[in-house]
Amino acid sequence: MLFTSYSFIGFITIVFLLYYLLPKKCQWPLLLVASYVFYFFASPSYLIFIGATTVSAYLVSRKLDSLQTEQETYLKAKKGELSREEKKAYKAAIKAKKWKWLLLCLFFNLGILAVLKYTNFMIANINGILSAFHSDGHLSFVNLVLPMGISFYTFQTMGYIIDVYRGTSKAEKNPFKLALFVSFFPQLVQGPISRFNDLSQSLFEQHKFDTKVVGYGLYRITWGYFKKAVIADRILTAVNAIIHDPETYQGGFVFVGMLFYALELYADFTGGIDITIGIAQTMGIKVTENFQRPYLSKNIKEYWKRWHITMGTWFTDYIFYPISVCKPMLKLSKFSRSKFGEAIGKRVPVYLSSFAVWFTTGIWHGASWNFIVWGLMNFVVIMISQELEPLYGKFHNRFHAKDKKWYGAFEIIRTILLMSCLRMFDCYRDVPLTFKMFGNMFTNFNLADLNAEAFLGLGLTAADYALLFICFLVLLTVSLVQEKKGSVRDLIFARPAWCKYVVFGILVLAVLIFGAYGIGYDQSQFIYNQF
């Protein structure tokens, strides 16, 4: 069931009604049943994989918890009898056992993800190597199932296991509650990647019907559908026309397609997250925010703190920090400091850990070299910007540019253009072609080519472009208001009652009248559903 389908709207309506009509103690069990029904309709075979992840996570988390309890009980019973060295040795032995169970769970679940998602990618690369050496042999591709949202629920569940191992989260004793955490259907498609301590606080609680809470949720859902159906799916037509015909659309249209894709990706992804958070909110469940107006960022580092926030924090907490402080890295840092000086030595752990994060980020997005290169290009740009910070400081001290209002706008535009350029790897999905089109954007740019006739040839009418321009202004206005005054919904709900009904009605009418759907419409899934 696509979020944009009538069947999903009917499904969520039924779930919502039952959620408040049934006894409150039935609320979280209902959500568990609904989540598995949702996943069953996607494909019955998917249940095998999400079930395996859930069972393995439950068994291992309980084992980790029992080892921790065993340690606490033993040390309490032997208090005053054990020497410091004996205590240290016992803790080390327990930690080693916990580490083995953690690795077992990680290898099992990440192994499933790797096999299903990356087997054919590896086969393609092996075949490419064989062809380069003029070998007649080649490996056949395998037909494997790729469960919907497997990257999201695997990372979310592994985060839970690591937290239990670290002792920052208690193991969930009820296997069905853990199953709901893993499979909670609104966020199953494209996140956010929730932490157990955050989501469980409201996921398993009993909630009474609250008009304001439900109203807030409906507003968020409608805003999400507005961005998806009115903006993203409309501009997608022009984006596809440009990137699928690189021989025709070159120069200036590469630049146009780059900006169009930036808008389409933002409206699509944030629209989906709005729907997810809104659905959860109508039932009193709080899901972590995943975006904070990333296109108002003044540099790429800030951008990644505002874009797909839960993914960024996951990679930081579970990859960057563990790698940067592990014993081999500390030894390497010490060696680098002694051989190359303090300045280089202190950078080694940061740069190597960042490289690992961005390589993983790239391949997480897709089993393709374009995503890997995209991730590594982000790494390169961020590292270069960090190395140039002293130069930026000298420039600002001399010219006081940061004190000028125009400079803030310049920084935002610069960041948008930079991130849009990097996203070209996502557009063309071919590394050599992406570099070719990037260069073509500068060498073959002809302003005369960007005429009305050419734009109309992209599959959109003049009315479509006018509507998209108005929608862009709406998005910009909402973002600026949020940046300066906070939640727009709070501002609307603070007005007289008629105001919130009028605004909500306008949103609904905009989706119904201008949404891209209907007879003959090829319904598109959210972009991040592929990951």
The pLDDT of residue 437: 93
Mean pLDDT by 10 residues, the chain (531 residues): 83 95 94 94 92 96 93 86 86 93 96 93 88 81 89 94 93 95 91 92 93 93 94 93 92 93 94 94 94 92 93 93 87 84 82 92 90 94 86 77 80 93 91 93 89 91 94 94 90 89 92 70 51 48
The pLDDT of residue 526: 53
What one-letter code names the amino acid at 343? A
Alpha helices, H only, 43-133: 46-77, 84-132
The pLDDT of residue 78: 82
CA proximity to 424, closest of 383, 361, 367, 374: 374
Q: In whole angstroms, what is the distance from residue 429 CA to residue 288 CA? A: 30
The pLDDT of residue 63: 95
Q: How far is CA 510 from CA 34, 276, 371, 467, 521, in A?
A: 29, 20, 35, 10, 17
Q: In whole angstroms, what is the distance from residue 440 CA to residue 321 CA? A: 40
The pLDDT of residue 107: 96
What one-letter code names the amino acid at 278? G
Q: In whole angstroms, what is the distance from residue 425 CA to residue 362 CA? A: 11
The pLDDT of residue 350: 86
Task: Name the pTM for this structure.
Answer: 0.89
E-strand ranges in 340-380 read none
The pLDDT of residue 525: 54
DSSP state of 320: I
Q: In whole angstroms, what is the distance from residue 165 CA to residue 465 CA? A: 53
For the chain, count helices (H), then strands (E): 25, 0
